[in-house]
Chain A
Amino acid sequence: MGNNHDKHGSHDDNHGGGLHGHHLIPIPVYVKTLLALVVLTVLTMWISTVDLGKFNIVGNLGIASLKASLVMAFFMGLKYDNNLNRAFILSSFGALAILVVMSASDLWVRPKPLPVAVKSAKSLVTKENLSKFEAGSPEMLDSGKKLYDMNCAVCHGAGGKGDGAGGVALNPKPRNFSADAGTWTFGNTAKSIYHTLYMGSPGTGMASYKSLLPEDRWALVHYVMSLSSGNKVGKADDKGNADIELELASAGGPPKPSIPIDLAIDRVAQ
């Protein structure tokens, strides 16, 4: 970067003011740049009122890039500056482009993360319509099957025989719904199954499904019953009743914890 001269006076300015070698941009250039920028702003607003489909975003981004180039070239002086500063600023846009394009090769190609419909904590089940849920319906069977396939089949098997791949290593093995009713921990009546879903089965791999809404659990109850062929025996219908009472009482309250409190207390105690 040149010799070691640093004597104060050796830089008598003969360039009409400004630093030696520093380019003075004429003032009209600045003003014209602003006018161009304002025109482009109007243009981009106008384009946004016309539906060009995908080209809207292309057009808007294109105009924005043009405006940015004008700001960089004239207001920031890059047009008159050395290559290095230009190279660095372009490299940052390049790096961003890489980030977007390669992330898009993932995010835009996968099935998109669908938002779980944020149902409010309010369940559809109320004291008045409880009997409908207890009785079941073809729609509930349908919805129950969907829920079963998503949540239960992995351990209990597609046909409910307890032969799902995820249950192979479990001890005790997942319930075979065709098995004799007497072998079920809580029994295989509707309320017993509801209780099992609500609390889970402590000491086994059967977790609690309190995180599901009551109507979903009722749907599952009916579907599981359709898979179960054993005679119905209720061991713990009282417990099932207690669960339902509790839920109706606190309906619309704060979201429930996903581990049953009793289980949590158990674990902490251990």
Chain B
Amino acid sequence: MSDSHQHADHAHHFNSIEHEFEAGKLGMWLFLVTEIMLFGVFFAGYGLYMYLYPEMFREAHHELNKWMGALNTVVLLISSLTMALSIAYIQRDQKTKSMWMLFITLVCAGIFMVVKYFEYTHKFHLGIYPGQYFNNPEMSAKFPNIALFFSFYFVMTGTHGIHVLIGMFAIAWIMFRMNRGDFNSRKFAAVEFVGLYWHIVDLIWIFLFPMVYLVV
């Protein structure tokens, strides 16, 4: 048994920091698998019903502002870039640039949530609430089950929004740790893993946007 434990930069049951990193990455990917399965159920339900009620879905989706959706898409894509760059920079020991990238990622996430806020309040204004609280008789008159579309809309974007918020906390935490000096070019696992999480959040939206906002 080696006696380098007082210098250990990795847990005792791993051989090296690289060993620990690779295991951690595998663990993170497995977690992302569960996230995909989680959101996948929403998409499955949505897709199954869209085939059954195409006209209703078409009519309902006009209430969604595809420009706001597109803006959010681009904002998230940019945030994915900055997230990836923050990892690229810390891998090169460029801590300041890495911090800036994390900060911009956070700002993009914030913009996303603000746009979301406006989208939601606009809907509430029109009486479009989830589930049994839906109250827009004009729309219900066209299609009695139009509330179903909006239930999906709120549940899917709502859950996604919660994941964005969680991501924001995680990124803020990473910024705090990076500022403290926890990370360098050898030791940046946490940044990488938060990055992977953030990309999945982006990925979900990449599917959500066309399926929900751009149905023709």
Contact = CB atoms under 8 A, between A and B. Distances in A.
A25 B88 contact: yes
Interface string B58-78: 000000001000100110011
A116 B143 CA distance: 11
Interface stretch (A81-89, A134-142, A201-209): A81-89
Contacts of A100: 44, 47-48
A67 B202 CA distance: 10
Given A34-B77, A71-B199, A89 B32 contact: yes
Nearest to A112: B52
Interface string B1-29: 01010011110000111110110011001
A184 interface: no
Interface in A199-257: none
- Interface range on chain A: under 10, 10 to 19, 20 to 34, or 35 or more? 35 or more
Nearest to B56: A115
Q: Tell me if B's interface is mostly helix, strand, loop or mixed.
A: helix
A8 interface: yes
27 contacts: A1-B15, A6-B8, A7-B2, A11-B186, A17-B185, A18-B91, A19-B91, A22-B21, A34-B77, A34-B81, A37-B80, A45-B70, A47-B214, A56-B216, A60-B210, A60-B214, A64-B209, A64-B211, A68-B206, A89-B29, A89-B32, A92-B40, A93-B36, A96-B36, A96-B44, A103-B48, A113-B52
Interface of A: 1-8, 11, 13, 17-22, 24-25, 27, 30-31, 33-34, 37-38, 41, 44-45, 47-48, 51-52, 56-57, 60-61, 63-64, 67-68, 71-72, 74-76, 81-82, 84-85, 88-89, 91-93, 95-96, 99-100, 103-104, 107-108, 112-113, 115-118
